[in-house]
Amino acid sequence: MSAKDYTTETGSGGELHQKAGGDVPPLTTQVGAPVSDDQNSLRVGRRGPTLIEDQAFREKIFHFDHERIPERVVHARGYGAHGYFETYESLSDITAADIFQRAGEKTEVFVRFSTVAGNKGSMDLARDVRGFAVKFYTKEGNWDLVGNNIPVFFIQDAIKFPDLVHAAKQEPDSDFPQAQTAHDNFWDFISLMPESMHMIMWIMSDRAIPRSFRFMQGFGVHSFRFVNAAGEARFVKFHWKPKQGLQSVLWDEALRINGADPDFHRRDLWTAIQSGDYPEWELGVQVFDDAFADQFDFDVLDATKIIPEEILPVRPIGRMVLNRMPDNFFAETEQVAFQTGNIVPGIDFSEDPLLQGRNFSYLDTQLKRLGSPNFNHIPINAPRCPFHHFQQDGHMAMHNPRGRANYEPNSWGGDQGGPREVAQGGIRAVPVAYSGEKARIRSETFADHYSQARQFYISQTPVEQKHMADALTFELSKVKTKPIRLRMLAHLLNIHEDLAQAVAAGLGVKDMPAPAQPAVPPRTDLPESPALSILKNGPDSFAGRKIGMLLTDGSDVAQVKAIVDAAQAEGAMVQFIGPIAGSVVLSDGTELDLDEMVEGAPSAVFDAVAILPSDDQAEMLAKMAAARDFAATTWAHYKFAAFNDAARVLFAKAGLPQELDEGFIPASDAKGFIAACRDLRFWGRKNAA
Ligand code: HDD
């Protein structure tokens, strides 16, 4: 066989190296010329140099060299999905926004979830805020609600955003650490920015390590305005509530998940949507007028504050269903360009100085990232409604004005004159009256930095409070500069004595610093807000969750089937895990294909587990470190487990107590096991420890 035969005629893939024909389209160059050989560049002689006339080669390498675009300066790592928003009822009395006029109407949406600090290739389970950006393709233009899974922000004024992000990302000399705030620069900055304390409580809570995008809330953060057709304006805050309920992982699980599956959140969304288990969120609003704003304890223009739901309930106004993954990640998820400035008639900004600054940043950044002012010509960014304007030319211009007119006013009229302003409706700023001196100034109504931080802390369950203290201790333990740790403790003292003491104890600080000097005295009279706790707002079903079932050859088919059936009835999913990859032969001789081997699937990637070895294989399983770890971490992470008698051999070797607790349920009670799983974790084990 000649060399050419080897690489071209049969190819290295042998018979699988198909040629075009029938249903298989021809491979072509960018301009459509069919390619005869994509294995060998054009060269002189068998071993000679490559020829520059090989356009197919040059075009291919040229394009490859330019495949990358700059990643987002923040929120670089993200994952998107398509879906729709369905309006519950007409809101015409409070907003003219077309999307909220007709009950039952569906509007196409694209959502991108993200982490903030990590680079594009960083892991999903970083302790971080999650972006929750929604593009609504409404009949009157695209409306982007660019929010987070946390309702407050670190800073009050956009001018501090570059400092915040510089401090949070890798340190500039070493370029580490990646995707985490556990380092000196971040806490140095934060400890000098008391306004960040409320947000710090949220990111040190379990909100910053969600189990999946499907189980987290979203918030528009700022106060915006709704404006009705009569021009009457009210403030509005937006909330997304997952129908799936709230759920987070433990920090130790996050660390393990990052190793076992850095794409855990991506995979979760992908798998759920591809299997038809469409995640759903309800959109709710807090609507209030100037009178409410004036009497509220804090400034509604301050993005470091919430309005507790117990004071102003969230009114559900529609639901969002995500039901389709992008065809192509780059084309859609990477190139989608969200802008806070993208509002539609009936929605307006507020004067929140963070929002005002964002409105500049999001437009500006797209030019850097997408390379042309025509980024809205990319299909994912283009409106679905008709659009007409006189903007033209520029790199990659796909839509240019037709006809003679490319300016207005013009006297051409008719077909030639092009579009004109609308006489009614359209985007109109609410005519809010302002006066004052030009000054770089912060309102004194923004001065209370501790009271709502405390309110968040006292609204958590004891388990959640402990997680916050642990998270702060962990992060500050990575800070090498001792005075920074003390500065943080000084702030914590203004939030809650117990929290400060717990962190000080963890850090081995014996001489507690004096409390930080507050701009205004912190309040201790704000009541608990149960809506702020994850554990107080968990799901009432185990639907959408995942069970890891550890099996061996000879595992009892009836036990397996009973749990699979009960899980399916609940809407939960089961993955089969074995000592090695491939399959196991169950007690009745059926061969069951495995999803994972135990080395590749720690218990941390599951919401609950079933451990069902056969009597014969239990000893063998107990000799495997990964299997012992599987059992030990199931226990350590307070997970529910179904088990059989043979599993006790593994449990003994894994160091589990002989006396198991109610979180470990005999496999014979499959329904009881699934019902218990609705609580997600058996916290009784933690309390007993
Ligand atoms: Fe931002 C991206 C959310 C403050 C500047 N931001 C970005 C994304 C989300 C948020 C979800 C990712 C969008 C996507 O998936 O493409 N950002 C927020 C929230 C904030 C916030 C909820 C406070 C309430 N951001 C903020 C400030 C500034 C920016 C104060 C600048 C002054 N944000 C940006 C940016 C990004 C961005 C640089 C990076 C990539 C992009 O916009 O498209 O413009």
Q: Pick from 358, 360, 370 the residue to mutate for probing ligand 1's pocket: most ligand atoms within 8 Å of its CB.
A: 358
Q: What is the pLDDT of residue 414?
A: 84
pLDDT in tens, 613-645: 999 999 999 999 999 999 999 999 999 999 999
354 pocket-lining for ligand 1 (C-beta < 6 Å): yes
Closest ligand 1 atom to residue 75 Cα is 12
**Summary mean pLDDT of the chain:** 96
User: To the nearest whole percent, how much of the chain has pLDDT over 70?
Assistant: 98
Spell out the CATH class of 3-65. Answer: few secondary structures
Instruction: Decide if 342 is catalytic.
Output: no
For the segment 135-140, the average pLDDT, to the nearest whole number, is: 98
Question: Would you list which residues are annotated within the binding site for heme?
Answer: 72, 112, 161, 358, 362, 369
CATH of region 540-677, choose from 3.40.50.880, 3.20.20.105, 3.40.50.1980, 2.40.50.180: 3.40.50.880
CB under 8 A, 24+ apart: contacts of 51-60:
55/29, 56/29, 59/29, 59/30
pLDDT band, residue 13 (cuts 50/70/90): low
Closest ligand 1 atom to residue 366 Cα is 43
Are 145 and 111 in contact by the 8 Å Cβ rule? The answer is no
Dist. CA 442–CA 157, nearest whole Å? 9
Q: What is the pLDDT of residue 12?
A: 59
The first and second tokens of residue 609, run together, are: 């587990």
Dist. CA 638–CA 642, nearest whole Å? 13
pLDDT in tens, 34-77: 999 999 999 999 999 999 999 999 999 999 999 999 999 999 99
Q: What is the pLDDT of residue 625?
A: 98
338 pocket-lining for ligand 1 (C-beta < 6 Å): yes
Q: Give the strand pairing for 608-612 and 546-551.
A: parallel
The first and second tokens of residue 13, run together, are: 């893939």
Dist. CA 155–CA 190, nearest whole Å? 10
Closest ligand 1 atom to residue 361 Cα is 44
Are 401 and 387 in contact by the 8 Å Cβ rule? The answer is no
Q: What is the domain partition of the chain in residue ranges?
A: 3-65, 78-177+214-377, 540-677
Instruction: Decide if 119 is catalytic.
Output: no
Q: What is the pLDDT of residue 3?
A: 47
CA 247 to ligand 1 center in whole angstroms: 24
Say which of 148, 185, 376, 381 is annotated catalytic: 148
pLDDT band, residue 686 (cuts 50/70/90): confident
Dist. CA 678–CA 663, nearest whole Å? 12
For the segment 566-594, the average pLDDT, to the nearest whole number, is: 98
Query: What are residue 287's phi and psi, to 5 degrees?
Result: -110, 135
pLDDT in tens, 371-411: 999 999 999 999 999 999 999 999 999 988 888 999 999 99
CA 362 to ligand 1 center in whole angstroms: 7
Are 319 and 85 in contact by the 8 Å Cβ rule? The answer is yes
Q: What is the pLDDT of residue 32?
A: 97
The first and second tokens of residue 325, run together, are: 């993954």
Q: Residue type at 273?
A: I
Q: Pick from 305, 362, 367, 378 the residue to mutate for probing ligand 1's pocket: most ligand atoms within 8 Å of its CB.
A: 362
Are 349 and 225 in contact by the 8 Å Cβ rule? The answer is yes
80 pocket-lining for ligand 1 (C-beta < 6 Å): no
682: pLDDT strictly greater than 60: yes
Q: Residue type at 510?
A: K
Say which CATH superfamily domain 78-177+214-377 falls into.
Catalase core domain (2.40.180.10)
Biggest CA–CA distance in the chain, Å, is 91
CA 375 to ligand 1 center in whole angstroms: 17
Dist. CA 490–CA 109, nearest whole Å? 45
Dist. CA 560–CA 562, nearest whole Å? 6
DSSP H or E segment with residue 256? helix 251-260
Centre a 10 Å sphere on the Cβ of residue 452 and count the other Cβ atoms it contains: 27
pLDDT in tens, 290-307: 999 999 999 999 999 999
CA 541 to ligand 1 center in whole angstroms: 34
78 pocket-lining for ligand 1 (C-beta < 6 Å): yes
The first and second tokens of residue 305, run together, are: 């504050």
pLDDT in tens, 116-126: 999 999 999 99
CA 164 to ligand 1 center in whole angstroms: 12
Dist. CA 241–CA 505, nearest whole Å? 36
For the segment 475-490, the average pLDDT, to the nearest whole number, is: 98
Q: What is the pLDDT of residue 171?
A: 96
Dist. CA 199–CA 197, nearest whole Å? 5
pTM value is 0.97
Q: What is the pLDDT of residue 424?
A: 92
Question: Would you list which residues are annotated within the binding site?
Answer: 72, 112, 161, 358, 362, 369
Closest ligand 1 atom to residue 112 Cα is 15
For the segment 515-519, the average pLDDT, to the nearest whole number, is: 98
For the segment 472-496, the average pLDDT, to the nearest whole number, is: 98
pLDDT band, residue 539 (cuts 50/70/90): very high
Adjacency order of strands within the sheet including 641-643: 596-597, 573-578, 546-551, 608-612, 641-643, 664-666
232: pLDDT strictly greater than 90: yes
Dist. CA 212–CA 373, nearest whole Å? 34
Dist. CA 140–CA 143, nearest whole Å? 9
Q: What is the pLDDT of residue 10?
A: 45
The first and second tokens of residue 102, run together, are: 């007709």
